[in-house]
Every structure is written in C-alpha cells, then in structure tokens.
Structure 1
C-alpha cells in the first residue's frame, strides 16, 4: 500500500467570499446581515432559495435584498437582479456600501446604556463571583469592520491577484448612509434581467422569459456544477435577486406558471454555484393562503417581516420604541443533514423557539431577541416619596392609639353585667373562666 502526498495546487479552491459549514460541510455565502446569517446557521447555502414575504406598509424586504446584492459586490460575486416594479439599474446604484471606520457604526443609546450597566455590575459583583467567567447571553450578532475589496488590475502579477482573492471578505458591515462607488459598480460583474415592456402582447409570459435568461446565464458563465469547468479556472458564485415576484406587474398565462417557475428555478440552483433571494408580496394573497403555502413548500428557507407601521395594536405598545417589527423564521435550509444547522450553531434562533424582532437605525439593520420593556417604563418612580411615607405612618399611629383608648374606656360586658371572656357565648357559661 502506497501513500501519495497531496499537492495544494491541485486541490479545488473555494470560490471567493464563501466558506464551508462546520455542521454539514455545505458551501455557504453571506446574506450581508450578520444576524440573518446566524439564524440560517452560518449563511445561505449555495444552491438554495430564500423566500422573503414582504410587509404591506414598508419596504424592509427590499432592504434585505439590497444587503444580499451589496455583499455579493463586496465579495466579487456575479450579481443578477430582476424586477418589474422598480428599475433594476437604479436599485444597484442605490446599494449601501462598507463601513470602514468606527464612526460608521451606528450604536444606539440602548446598547450604550446596556454595556455601561453591565460594566458597572461587573465591578461591584462580589456575592456571585463564581458566575463572572460564564458566557453572557447575547441578544444580537455583531460584525467586524471591513476594508474595501481590492480590485486587481492588468498590470499586477499573478501573486497580487492571489492576494486580492485571499482578501475577499465573507461577511462585512455596511453603512446605510453610504452608496457604492460608481467605479466599483462599473468593474463589477452584474446582469440586469429586465424583460421588454410589451403590454400589447397577450401571450407574453414573464416567468418563462426570466427562467430562460437565468438558464442561459448559468450555462454561459460556468456556474453549472453538472458541466465540468475548463482547466485552471476557478468557480465563482452567482447571486440572483428577484424583487416583488408575483406582483400585478408580472404577466403570465395562468396562475400555475408561477409554480412551474419556482420548480424549475429550484432545480437549476441545486446543480449550480449560485443562490437566490426572492421577495414576494404575500399580503396580496391573504384570501387564498394555499397559494403562498405551495411556494413556501418549494423554497428552502422562508422568512416573514411583520412591521409595526400601520398597526393599531402595536403602535400603542411600549416596545415599539425599541423595535420596528417582528421577524418570523418559518423555514430554514436543511441540506446534507437531518436537522438544520441553526439548532447547533445559531445564537439568536435558540432551536427555533426564540422570539425575534428587528430594528432599523440610521446606519444599519439588525435582528435581535425580542424583550419586553420594564412595566411602567424605565423612568417610572418605583418608590414613594419620604414625606408620604412619614404622613402615612403618622395616620396609622393615630388610628391605633384611638382604638386603644376606646377599648380601655368601654370594656365588653355580658347581659348580667359581668365582663365577657374571649370564649363566651350568649346564654352559656364561659369555658375559659376558672
């Protein structure tokens, strides 16, 4: 039996901006939101479909789709975007960009107060000293600051290209107040899957046209895992984003065309180096819930955003000051395993039994564990004033003294004139009198 030493150059390299799952060895890419990556078990597996159910009054689902595309541009992936309600080119130009300094991180006042309170409690912890080394309960997931991705030029050598590929980040922190530079957008690999506006054609089928464009994109750019790639070529990742699918702007011959599109797209992604994020206006199909339920069955992961905006029940609640809505995780991807990776690796999901909520600050979007605020609020006075306590004591003392005086002046007597004992009854002798 002979052994052969492995050559590192002959081994297949991972695509840039990807990593292997520690749970099942699946190839993962980041969604651009660190807390969402944690909920999914480390990231979105390659070859899967993530379905986001849109909210009725807000555009938070579109914001998550922008995060997904911005992370793809930062990781040097091939990004394809399709939309019928918005201009795809304008959506790419309005993508957020990297937060490179500490000033770009928007830390709210609640987090500052929480960290200051925890530090103060740690200083005066003397009784429970044995718990000081235990792991603290985390309610959110933070990401590290990133540097702008290096763009290799033609003048650089092959070693500089390898260094640029090695420096590609997996998950970065974005600043919502920044926009992607035009130079980087021109050099990035992007594809706009816009269909011609032919409203006069009654036989037009947008789902079939979009599916043919996606299939052609996968084959021509070597994203298909069923077709062997040419020698000495490294695979790249395809990020597919579809905005507001199944809205009234999408034309089809029958309602079943949407189900055919999802089945075909699911099959294409299973045998390709790509992942898709699709947003769908589920509130338009509330009268027919089985319509959305069939699509959820096809998708690999399903999340729903429930905003507090426009809700008479939630607007009057006190927790609306800290959160902007609930974040429902209805389905997580399960590949190459019996249980989802989030049951072992996730901090926020807690095996799917944790209540989640999201908040949108000026510079970032975050998903956290939902906590109810203290009853009555933080600023409510918990103790009575000293003057009120003293007056209440004086009143109670005067009442007791008056009762004592009355009892001394008028002792209890029987009908015959003899004083009563504590066990006496009318007409009978007192058993306690000896």
Structure 2
C-alpha cells in the first residue's frame, strides 16, 4: 500500500488591520488605546481597553482630573481619533482649546542618575529595585503643558461637542433629567453616524473618544437614579462599539454616601485623585516631591477572569512645569540625619534588677 505524503505548508495568517493609536494586549488580546499619560497606561495594564468606561473621582478642586481629560483628548487628536466632548460645568470648546501640544523631542522625563551607589536606610536595603516610572516600551506620547495645540491641528480633527441641553419637555426612556438623556442620544448618534459600531459594515474609521467632565455635578441636577441609569446604558453602548469613554465625577459632592460606590460598580476602571492642596500633607517633608495620591479603586477585567495586577498600589502623582507624572510613593529614608531609631532611645539595662529601684536590685 502506497502512502501519500503530503507536504505541510505554512499557512499564511490573515493580517489583522490595526487601528491607529491602538494595540493588542499581550495578556488577553484586548484592544487598548492610550490615556495620554504613559505612566498611567503602565499602571492600569498597558492602556485603556476599547469599549470600556474609565471613571476618575475628582480631587477637591477638580484641577488634576480636568488635566487628565485634556491628556485623553490630546492623545486622540494626535492619533487621528474622533472626539465627543461633553460637560455642564465648563465649555467643551474652551476645554479643547486648552489641550497641550505634543512634546517636540517626545522623550521620557528626566530620571535621577543611578550610576553612583546611594546610601539609604537599613529598612530599604533588601527591597526589590523597581523603577518609579516604567522602563518598558512606551505606549502613547508625551505632551508639553506649557504649550497649547495649534488651532490648525484642532481644526483638522473630527470633534463633536455636546452643549448644555435645557429641554423643557419630559424625557422618555426612564430619565427624569433631560441632560442625561440628551447626552446618551448624542453618544448613540455619534456611534451610528461615524460607523464605530462593531456590526457596521466596512473598514472602521478609528476609535471614538468620549470625554465627559464633572458628570453628576450640582449643575446636572440632583438625580442619582438618572446618573446610574446613564452609566448602565452607556456601558452597553460601548461594549458593541469601537469607542472608549473617560469621565470625571465629583464624588466628594455627592449627598448620598452610596452613590459613589454604585458609580464605581458600573465603570470598568476607577481611579481616585487625592490632592494635597489645602491639607497638612502639602507642607509635610515626606510628601514634598508629590502633589497628591492616586488610588486604584478598580482595574478593568475585560475578556479575562482577573484584572491586571500592578507592581504597587502606593501611587502618587506630581505636576511638573511641562508634564504630569504618576509614580510609586517612596517615603524618604530619614527626615534628619541625626534621627535615631526609636528602640535606641531606650537604654538597655545592665543589672539583674533592670535598673535602680527595681524589686530585684542588689
């Protein structure tokens, strides 16, 4: 019996057409896009998953949260993504006009020299050496906060704005507040008109970036039920579209203590910003190199059973003249050179009685 030997040829795999400004995660093959801050992308697992909601709990004055929104939008313009900017607190047009310009050299921030051996406290000598900022290949770009993006570049971008909606008629669909209903319809219409839906035929034009500043603030009206319904419907829309949403909420202004937890449950990624402005930590020597703390409330778990595990949950952020950085929180070895350990302050007794006046003193 003759045996026919067939030659095995390497099958050519169909190349996946990648979308500009995105990459596939090596952990779960999820499509990721940058938040505009490379150090933040590294912490949350490589980037923001497309089809998810990233919720940022604002700091007390909302300055740093709004800065992250600008980074998010600036990254989208450089990558050629479409933008939808919405807010009830600030003008969306004014927010876009203040976007930072891409850094000319696009180089990572200066790091302290490590060639010379540093003298550190004994309790830090055996800790693993982990860099404060990631040394892995960057994803995203650096932006210069001292310069704004050119008007010509903003004019060439595909940007949609959602102004304040003061509709007088009752809003259908279970919403009592017309603002939430109007924004949800704007998102749905933008996804359909731009062909960002997964089921839409043809080649995808890119990614739709949705930025909502100060969602649920007092200017939106006191309607906690509508806020939860909006997040629930928005998440359902994004799951079937090439879109990613970043929104900020003033959780410290919520009257209901349970509302912040409900919002965190409905979002995929939750970050909390705690600014040192107006607190004792602003003048504390241990936090002199930082401007606030970054709390990881929730990390995305899309197409996987477990979210990414960061190297450390002790994170802090600082704002330099040109850049916003997220680093590990490192406390100084010693605040003063003459400081001694607490156990050294207690004199070791040398006699059997443990000192004069003891019951066994002889």
Q: Structure 2 vs 1, CA of residues 301 and 292 (structure 1 numbering), >3 Å: closer, same or farther?
A: same
Secondary structure, aligned partner of 2:229: helix
2:298 corresponds to 1:302? no
Q: Structure 2 vs 1, CA of residues 229 and 60 (structure 1 numbering), >3 Å: closer, same or farther?
A: same
Considering fraction of residues, name the structure with more helix.
1
2:242 corresponds to which of 273, 278, 297: 273
Q: Structure 2 vs 1, CA of residues 369 and 269 (structure 1 numbering), >3 Å: closer, same or farther?
A: same
Deviations 1:316-366 (A, max 9, x none): 4212311111110010000111122x32xxxxx32xx53111111101000
1:364 corresponds to which of 307, 323, 340: 323
Deviations 1:258-299 (A, max 9, x none): 1111110000000000110010000012x5221111111010
User: For the aligned residues, what is the CA RMSD?
Assistant: 2.8
* 1:6-17 matched pairs, under 5 angstroms: 6=12, 11-17=15-21
2:94 corresponds to which of 90, 95, 99: 90
Q: Distance in 2 between matches of 1:207 and 1:39?
A: 31
Structure 1 runs (4+) greater than 6 angstroms displaced: 1-4, 142-145, 200-203
* Structure 1 partner of 2:259: 291
* 1:343-362 matched pairs, under 5 angstroms: 343=309, 349-350=310-311, 353-362=312-321
2:49 corresponds to 1:45? yes
TM-score scaled to structure 1, two decimals?
Answer: 0.69
Q: Distance in 2 between matches of 1:202 and 1:218?
A: 25
Q: Distance in 2 between matches of 1:7 and 1:301?
A: 33
2:121 corresponds to 1:120? no
Q: Distance in 1 between matches of 2:290 and 2:100?
A: 22
Segments of 5+ residues of structure 1 without an aligned counterpart are 123-134, 146-169, 344-348, 384-424, 426-434
Larger Rg: 1
Q: How many residues align?
A: 323
2:233 corresponds to 1:261? no
Is residue 51–residue 296 contact of structure 1 (8 Å, CA) maintained in 2? Answer: yes
TM-score scaled to structure 2, two decimals?
Answer: 0.82
2:301 corresponds to 1:334? yes
Please state how far the C-alpha of 1:174 moved relative to its aligned partner: 0.8
Please state how far the C-alpha of 1:257 moved relative to its aligned partner: 1.1
2:100 corresponds to 1:101? no
Please state how far the C-alpha of 1:371 moved relative to its aligned partner: 1.0
* Structure 2 partner of 1:228: 200
Secondary structure, aligned partner of 1:259: helix
Please state how far the C-alpha of 1:382 moved relative to its aligned partner: 7.8
* Structure 1 partner of 2:219: 249
Q: Distance in 2 between matches of 1:143 and 1:370?
A: 19
Please state how far the C-alpha of 1:143 moved relative to its aligned partner: 8.8
Q: Distance in 2 between matches of 1:290 and 1:218?
A: 31
* Structure 2 partner of 1:429: none
Segments of 5+ residues of structure 2 without an aligned counterpart are 1-5, 119-127, 172-176, 341-361
Secondary structure, aligned partner of 2:72: helix
